[in-house]
Structure formats: structure tokens, C-alpha cells
Structure 1
Amino acid sequence: MTTAIASSPRPRTHIAVLLVLAMTHLLNDLMQSLIPAAYPILKEAFALDFVQIGMITMTFQIAGSLLQPVIGMVTDRHPAPFSPVVGMMFTLSGMLSLAFAQSYTAILISVALIGIGSSIFHPEATRMARYAAGGRQGLAQGIFQVGGQAGGALGPVFAALIIVPLGQPSLAWFAVAALSAMLLLVWIGSRQREISAEFVAMRATAKKDGGAHVEHAPLTIAIGLVMLTLLMFSKNAYGESFRSFYTFYLMDRFGLSIPSAQMMLFIFLLAAAVGVLIGGIVGDRIGRYRIIWISVLGPLPLTLLLPYADLFWTGVLTVMINLIMASAFASILIYAMELLPNRIGLIGGLFYGLNFGLGGIAAAILGGVADSYGVETVYRLCSFLPLAGLLAWFLPRIDERR
């Protein structure tokens, strides 16, 4: 069916484009996830402490956050459909540099390059997912983000199967992932003009029918963005405690080997991939506000139990926690887009940037806690973070026209 969107009662959702976007997101986040997945190898090879591990994460996350809102604002005014290809070039150089890094400084520079690559990738890719969604924004963001979450989950698997047995230089093999993503992004860029024209026509039709987005008051926008930022911080701080320190927690408390701990981290991250897709789909049906409430505050009883569970229940609880908590991100992102519907690039850059920056700050803080009081203390403190979900009470109840 190729009827123009302006004359169609149901806006067309470009599933093929969304799936290719999800694949590029998978490859991008796979390469990112290799950084924390390689921490046990780097810790042993360079005699790093937990503060230094946290600083690696913070360097990567800050590099991946600072540029994103700026790039988003620029591309809102001057769309750059091939900018994600440039971002992938930075990621490629960072992966090769990390594979052959001979010092702690070289590691920091390498992860910064990977972070910069991600900061260039996300704003324009988020815009394309928005354009390709038609009238199914939750589904579109869910598909796009499930690619990223799946890529993040695969990092520990590749670490266990390749990086641990073959060592740090094996990271260079993943340059193939960057090259593959570049080819896919060239095709995505070539489709943007056509799909963005459909999106503009869809919004024009909605406006004619009285269904266009309302203009929100500046105070409403400000309160909404602040609350969403605080909710994002609580979610990311808890998630970062797993990405950076979960393998050490499992090895210290339960005596697991590095490969076994990495596989448990994979299961945890895989739950996020499922959760983010479910959250996007359900959010289309019941609204973003309810999903945010459920996903941020809902895991609290489980997080309080986790530090006292045995190995089996630790695995069960971590999957359930991440399944629920991960469902928030699609709704937070779309909620922000509905506050500022004409600033897609800015919102994509800001909130993916927040994912990086806030996670990096949390990692540095938690690294200090782990060094001073032990890694188990990290999980006792983090168990209270879902209480921040009460902040959802202050979110403006914006009109969600779907």
C-alpha cells in the first residue's frame, strides 16, 4: 500500500525502516556495551581500582552526552540524514584504539571517542524513528530502543566468548560491526526525505482535523522536563549499578567465574530489551503517564529484596526489576516529544544524552562507594532509588492525542 499519508485514514508505519534503524542501534550499543563488559580484563591488566573503573564509565558517558543536545538543536534546523554515518566513524576509531591501548590514559581517550560517536548517532536516528512511526509512536520507539537494548545485552556474551579468552586485542574484531552499521545508515539516510514528507503531511492532516498537538505553556514544559530528568536519573543510576558492577558483585558474593557472571549480566540486559518494547506498545494503549508510574516506582519491593537474595533469586529478581524498569524509557522520550513536538532532534539528543551523562555521574559515585564500603553496599543503597518514582505525581497531565 503506497497511498500518500495525507489522504490515508491510518498513517503508514515504515516497519522495514524501523527494523533497520533497530539493527544500527543494536550495533552501536553492542560496541558501547563492550566497554563495561571488558572491565574485568582491563582491571586485571592495568591494576585498576573501582574509582578508576567508575571514571572510565564517566568519561564515556559524559563524552556521549555533551554533544547530543547541541547536535539535536542543529539538526532540528538543518536536518543531516547522514550524520549518524560520521558518528559511526568515531566509534570505529575508538574501538580500534581501545583494542591496542597501552595505558589508562589511552583507555580514557578510546572510550571518549566511542561516546562521541554515540552522541552523533542518536539525535538523527531518533528523528528518523519518529518520522517512520506513522501514528504508532510507542511501537516505533520500542522497536528502535529494543535494538539498542539487545546490543547492550550482547556485550557480556561476546566478552565471555571472545574477549575473556582472547584478550583486549580481540576488541578490534568489532570494527566489522561499525562498518556494517555505516552501510545500513547510508540506506536509512537515503530514505529520510521521502519519509519526512509523509510525516509533515500527516501532521498537516491532523491539524486540519483538529487533532494537532497543543502548544504547552512554558511553565508546563519546564516542570515536565525537570521531572522527567529526575526520573531518568533514578532509573539510570540503578541500571548503571548493574552495567558497571554487577559482574564484580556476583564474583565477590557468590564466587562466580568471569564468564558465568557475564552471562548473568547478559540475561539482566536482555530483560531490558524485552521491557522497553513492551513499555512502548503498552504506552500506546494506556498512556505514557501510567507507564512511567508503573515502571519507575513498581520495582521497589523487588529492589529492596535483592541484596538479601541467594544466587537463584538474585537472577530472578534482577530480570523482573529490569523488565519493569526498562519499560519507562520509550514513554519518557515520547512524553518529552509531546511537550516539545517541533524539537525532535533536541529531545532525542537531550534524553539520550541524559542516559549517558547521568549514568556516568552515577557510575563514578557508585565506584567510590564500592571502594570504600564494598560492592554489596552499592546494591543496598540503590535499592531505595525507585522511590524517586513518586516524582511522577508532579508530571503535567498533558493531552495525549493518538
Structure 2
Amino acid sequence: MTCLYLDPFSGISGNMLLGMLFDLGLDYDQFQNELKKLNLAGYHLTLESTRRSAIGGKLFDVKLEDANHHVDESLTAKEVQKNDYPAGINDNEKTSHHHHGRNLAEIKRIISQADLKSAIKTQAIGVFDEIARAEASVHRLPLDKVHFHEVGALDSIIDILGFFIGLDLLGITKVISGPLVDGSGLIKVAHGTMPVPVPAVMQMRKNSGIPVHQREDVRTELVTPTGFAIVKRVVSFFGPIPEEMQIEKIGYGFGTRQTGHLNALRGLLLTASPSHKEGRTTGDEIVEIHANLDDQPGEGLGFVIGKLLEAGAYDAYFTPIYMKKGRPAYQMTVITPKQKCRIMADLLFQHTTTFGIRYVNLKRTILPRTFKKVCTKFGEVTLKIGMIKSSKKVTVEYDRAAILANQHHVSLEQVQQAALLAYNKEDGMA
């Protein structure tokens, strides 16, 4: 498992997150190829290797090729008419841009139509939904009346969607973070003066439990709505670097705002420490979600399970049950990381007939594991090896074994046995 640890000692924003991922090794060409699947024009990307306070890192930005033509050509003229409502969203890396308004539905349409992985699109839409709900509350407007300017523009769509593309390309499966650090005072934006933290960030902090320290010596915004919303959606817990993890790589993503201090986001790639790979179990908290379905077509159950697993659920399954008055039904169960509860709930409401879901917080103990590839006469097979003290549990990963069994017209058991035999030979146990 590759884990990303965020060290937001000078705040967090969309382009700082991406600059940090590039400094950690995200491939620029691969990233651009994935981003082209948005089918948007009117921009180009810049990525600069630079130094701040004698520290090397990356500065990422999205440049609009024409300030008057920044939207995708698929939008009609009616759709891009300027709206008089100032949503007030201000990303500190974007304050010089003046963009037409877009509502949440338009942004969702742009992202949904992209030929990208469903999990990436779901996560990006979730971030925009988080910001839109905060803005609706701040401005006392219905959700569908909120129109985005800065964060709804092309550059911020790229920042948000690009971050999740980057996580996927780097194989990052978990994100944790230290406390966020914000500035203080007042900032001037296109629509007036705002207090720091800006209203959208303050609204998203409500009941979130996310730790935020404010620096009185920095009289400007450090945490943007984009950065906070991403953190709120993806970070599983806040605290120090876990003892059982070791640092593999360190990266810095720079911001453009002049704060009088080092304006950078530090990120660490973490893997299991060798001293913790064997003999210790680890634990974390997960959430179990339940929904009773008594009017759901059977084929829809398999479809939604696929969606849930693709979005990052640990497991999803359904159980036949009987409800009141003897009605046959199914109970849908989803086991998920805490930070993905909202994503799973959205998928259940979207793809099932349920009108309500239930949550149970659970603790679990996890056996440390590693993955190893072995060569067999059928091809390369992946093994999962669980370790506790001096004992090992070895299982063959199903997907690859099933593909090889079909390719060679043999049973699944033959491939599995060949993989275990190859492992035993390598391990000196044959």
C-alpha cells in the first residue's frame, strides 16, 4: 500500500497539491494524456522546477489561452452567459482570472462526460458538491442557484480532477494529513473583502473535526476552498506520520501568493516500515453502511456493487431478508473507509431505490501483508502474503489467475497450485 502524507505547514490549494504530486514523481506526459479525456480546450499547463527558500520543488499552473474564451466549446452561448450572482469562491492561485459563472449541474456534466475512471469522476464531483453546499449555506441560496466563478472555471476543474488523476497514476490508495495551517486577517477579492478563513472554508469546517491552526503573523489566506474540500473528501485521519510507515519520497508544491514565508505544501510517500512488515497487526476504523431494498430489480444489485467497489469500497454485498408483512427484500451492505462515506451514500441513492441508509462505525484489526509476483508455466501470478510473528498466510490473487486459466484452458485450481508451488520453491520450502 502506498500512502500519501500531507504536511500543510503553509496551507493548501489545488495547484499546490498538483505541484507536490509532480515533485513526488507524477509523470507529466501521462497526466496530460489523461487530462485530454476531458475534451476541453482554451488552456495550457505549466510545470516549473524551481526553488523557494533554497528548497527545490514544483510550481504547477493552468494558463488560459484567452481570458474571454476559457470554456469548453461544447457549451452553448446561452449556457455561458455571465451570471450576476457572485459565488464568492476564491482560490488564492486564481484571483487574477475573471470567469463566467457555471452552476453545479454544468460542472458535473463536463466531468461525467469525460472518458476517465468512474472513481476519479465521482471523487472530483464530490469535491465540487462539497464547495457548492458550503457556498449555498454562506449565501443563503438553494444549491441549484449557486454559480461558480473562480472554482467553477476551467483551471479549477483541472486542478480538482487532476489531483485525483494524479493519485490514481501514482498508485496512492490512502491519504492522511497533519493539521492544516491557515492565515488570518482580511483579503480583497473581485466581489469585495472577506475574512480569513474565507466563508466557504469556515462553512466546510463546521462539524468536520478537521484540525486547523491559524497564524496571526500571516495576514492572508493560506487554505483555499478547493484545497479544503479535497482534504475533507480524501483524508482518512489527521495526525503525525504513523509509526508503522516509512518515508520513501518527499515532494514540495509551491503556491504563487507572496506570504512573507515559504508558501509550499510538503507531501510524503509512505510505505510499510520493514520493522513492521512482520509480526504486528494494525488497526483502523471503518464504516458499515446498510440499506434495505424491497423494490430493486435483481440486475441492478450487481451493477451498484461494481460501482461501489470501483469507487473504493473495501467490500459490498447483498443479503436476502424478509421485511414487515413478509415482504422479500435485500439488505445492501457496504464496508468503506470513513472518508468515503459520502461517496458511497451518493452512489446508493443514485443507483438503488432506497430512500435512507444507516451507518455503523466499526474497528478492525488488519494482518500486515505484502504482494509478490511469481512465474509459472501459465504466466506471472500475484500472491498475497499475510504475516503474523513467524507464520505466513499465502493466497493467490483471483483476477490474474482467472485470466490465465481461461487463456490456457485449464482449471483455476491448476493455476493456483502452480503459483503456490513456484512460491514454495523460491522460499526454500519445497
**Scaled by the length of structure 2, what TM-score is found?**
0.25
Structure 1 or 2: larger strand share? 2
**Scaled by the length of structure 1, what TM-score is found?**
0.26
Decide which structure has the larger Cα Rg and report it: 2
Q: Which has the higher contact order (CA 8 A, sep 6+)?
A: 1
